[in-house]
Amino acid sequence: MTHRPDDAAEAGRRLRADARRNRARILAAAEEVFAEKGESASTEEVAARAGVAIGTVFRHFPTKRDLLAAIMKELRTRLVDEAAALSADAGPAAAFFDYFAFMVERAARVRTVLGLLAAEGMGAEPGDQIRDLEQVVGELLEAAQRAGAVRPDVALDEVMAILTATCQGALHGAWDDDLRRRTLGIVFDGLRPRA
């Protein structure tokens, strides 16, 4: 009937090569467009930017909401993956703070990170992606606390709250690199143990 869309792709079922290419293109275009104009941007513009017809967008994402949800999911996956790289490259203290800064820097560019962090009820389907963003941050946090780089009395939900807030601030406030660095400095000071 209606093309058993997108989740099929997610679930790993086979898609034709060109379909997969288009799906990726659409996601990329959508991320750009929604990043620039907010989620009230039109689906038609997404299609145009992706270089496909409007119907193709619909085939992959039957609803605008589905498209938005797919962007979030994709982005979350990417961010989680990048966390792994960071924690491999650096010691636990650096890993935590680097990841925090990294996400905020991302947010300054990509408006959609917002929705990702705010979760906004968009089907997170816990379990279908074992390592969720919050879990990743939790791991980095614990490691940093064990290493004495973060106050032991700070809980994960507070960290997520501050991370979210900082990302949103960075985005909407259009901070430049310097302001971001100084702002993060204050936040990080709040997280570090008192001398």
Partner DNA sequence: TATGAATGAGATTTCATTCAT
Partner DNA sequence: AATGAATGAAATCTCATTCAT
Residues that bind DNA (CB under 7 A): 2-3, 12, 15-19, 21-22, 40-44, 52-56, 58-60, 62-65
**Spatial CB neighbours of 8, under 8 Å, sequence gap ≥ 6:** 15
1 exposure class (CB count in 10 Å sphere: 0-12, 13-18, 19+)? exposed
If binding is defined by CB under 8 A, does position 44 make contact with its own copies? yes
Instruction: Report the site for its own copies in 81-110 (rule: CB under 8 A).
Output: none
Rg (CA), the chain: 18
Pair 25, 42: CB distance under 8 Å? no
Which x/- pattern over 118-137 shows residues binding its own copies (rule: CB under 8 A)? x-x-----------------
> Which does residue 18 touch among its own copies, DNA, none (CB within 5 to 8 A, set by kind)?
DNA
- Residue 112 in contact with its own copies, rule: CB under 8 A: no
Which partner in DNA, its own copies, none is near 112 (CB below 5 to 8 A by kind)? none
Q: Is 18 in the site for its own copies (CB under 8 A)?
A: no
175 binds, among DNA, its own copies, none (CB under 5 to 8 A by kind): its own copies
Handedness of CA 136, 140, 81, 180 (dihedral sign): positive
Least CB distance to DNA at residue 106 (A): 25
Is residue 133 a contact partner of residue 119, using CB atoms and an 8 Å limit?
no
Give the other-Cβ count within 10 Å of 40's Cβ: 7
In the bound complex, what is the minimum distance in angstroms from residue 84's beta carbon to its own copies? 25
SS3 19: helix
End-to-end CA distance of the chain: 65
Q: Which is nearer to DNA, 6 or 134 (CB)?
A: 6
The CB density around residue 162, as the number of other CB atoms within 10 Å, is: 16
43 binds, among DNA, its own copies, none (CB under 5 to 8 A by kind): DNA
55 is written with which tokens? 């119907």
Binding of its own copies at residue 40 (CB under 8 A)? yes
CB of 115 to DNA, least distance (A): 15
